[in-house]
Chains A and B, each alone.
Chain A
């Protein structure tokens, strides 16, 4: 599904990713953990195609095809989805308008017909039920005035609606209370399927109690420095990142 080869990325001349390798198979859930500044969020943004970052080496293959030259919208239409760490407030654009524009733009890019309004409403209702979100919130401007938890739920709602092949969750657990964490995790788990891969980026092991990964990677100084099973997360929780931070220095 996703293959990252020796990826080097800079921002404003500063090296952030320094030869990162990562391979995620279909249906797998991988977690990336690591200390602040190790490059986790940069990886998420680079996968989504944010243009502040300069890829200076390596490649990103999605379903065997390099996506480095693709615009963000093109990547999204191919099935890449980023759940933002800090979802953006969009005053003046109603949630429903935004969802419909996104869904239909992706369908159009894939050569599919636009959804009829009843069909669209039905799908939104299903997604909203999954995330236990009041549909009234979707009539309001996107994320505007939402609490931290509501914003994160809205990210996963979009994910459920857009049905991506690769879900990237960038610190989706940050700012969530225990109930919201459970609801969001259940939403993510409901979307697990043999055809869908997930990359969970997090600081804390807690989230991985709910979203159980197939593999856990430790990232430090722009590289994957260790890979293991879900038990690696528990070890990190117990011992901290000190061992790996030392590597970075």
Chain B
């Protein structure tokens, strides 16, 4: 084994090492958790940021793309955090929901709806306490094999300083959606957060994870959500990545789904100059139902990557994956979806589809669906299509007097909304379709296609 680390480091790598070394002694967690942090950081130190020769990161070469990692963000006072929150755009509009607020990566209990949540049977605390707890700390820091050694996950394990830990008691049916809002303020800073959600057996709730930040500010966020969906529970989790236009965002979801449970996940990607949202989902009980959906809308010189690893580890579950992606300007998009069916996972029913529309000659989208099947009695399929807006559809609109920009907007809205509707929640769906409308209305009117 070669113990000699690489000597040449990028600015971002150097900054990450400095961040860890500076924070190591003050990062929360018991001795076991600190050991896991050290182990994760050693992995990063040995291999550096992933690059195009690392299979999973082939199309998102972080060593080349991640230029700057600013210092770790300080915790704002509750007063300053409230002021920053007031300035942040409310991307969910009029959606009635409970809110948990994190500002620059620090949980703000005083600004969050802890009381009403507790009355409904949902306990929330800062993740710092979770990292310190004897049993749970190790669990949320260890993670399943499919996620643990990933580069972004390792950095998160090493550096996560705060987050929210949510426990939903068995049988609780939460009346409103729960928003976990990550706000980046105007400072050039980095935030490493780990949220945890434990959904008790038979419970049901809707979560909306939102990332917002100010345009023009170089910020870096590495967030991870650890989710455990108990038997027969139902969780609808939507993520909206609407970070500022100079931000980099690395977000991971690590979910374990129990027997008979239903887990719907939706990733809406609109913000950040560089982003990757990756989901690692393990079906750990029989008869679960999983829907993973996403809508990506990027333009300018954005790079956005959505990567899924869905592991059917137990028999008789059903999964549906649907992604709708549009790229404009000179944006680069990536969709990677891998479905693994373990040898014992007989009677698995899995389908995956990714559809891309390229809105300009310079935009690109890589779509890579993959199946890895070890069982013999399964029904699995995948597909991917990429193309332009359908000219016949467009002409139909034009012939009725609808000008080209409006025609494109209506067609793209319908195309993207398809993935949002798959989550099957009208209230949250309407709020996220508002985000799509907003993106489409800000998109420059299209040049006449050749």
Contact = CB atoms under 8 A, between A and B. Distances in A.
Interface of A: 48-50, 71-73, 76-77, 81-82, 84, 87-88, 90-93, 97-98, 101-102, 105-106, 109, 141-142, 158, 162
B401 A105 contact: yes
Given A92-B415, A93-B411, A49 B404 contact: no
B374 interface: no
B295 interface: no
Given A72-B398, A101-B410, A105-B401, 8 more contacts: A49-B398, A71-B403, A72-B395, A73-B401, A76-B401, A88-B393, A93-B414, A105-B406
B395 A73 contact: no
A113 to B, nearest CB: 16
Q: Is the interface of B mostly helix, strand, loop or mixed?
A: helix
B402 A71 contact: no
Contact of A98 (B400, B415, B418): B400
A76 B399 contact: yes
A67 to B, nearest CB: 13
B69 interface: no
A92 B404 contact: no
Interface string B355-389: 00000000000000000000000000000000000
A73 B398 contact: yes
Contact of B399 (A82, A91, A97, A109): A82
Interface residues of B, number: 21
Nearest to A87: B396
A84 B393 CA distance: 12
Nearest to A76: B401
B410 A77 contact: no
Contacts of A77: 401
Contacts of A109: 401
A92 B410 CA distance: 9
B417 A71 contact: no
B393 A90 contact: yes
Contacts of B393: 88, 90
Nearest to A83: B399
Contacts of B417: 92
Contacts of B399: 48-50, 72-73, 76, 81-82, 84
Given A88-B393, A90-B393, A105 B403 contact: yes
B410 A97 contact: yes
Contacts of A141: 414
5 contacts: A71-B398, A73-B400, A73-B407, A106-B400, A109-B401
A82 B397 CA distance: 11
A88 B392 contact: yes
B400 A102 contact: yes
A199 to B, nearest CB: 15
A72 B418 CA distance: 28
Nearest to A84: B396
A77 B402 CA distance: 9
A158 B396 contact: no
Contacts of A90: 393, 396-397, 411, 414
Contacts of B404: 71, 73
A101 B407 CA distance: 9
A93 B411 CA distance: 7
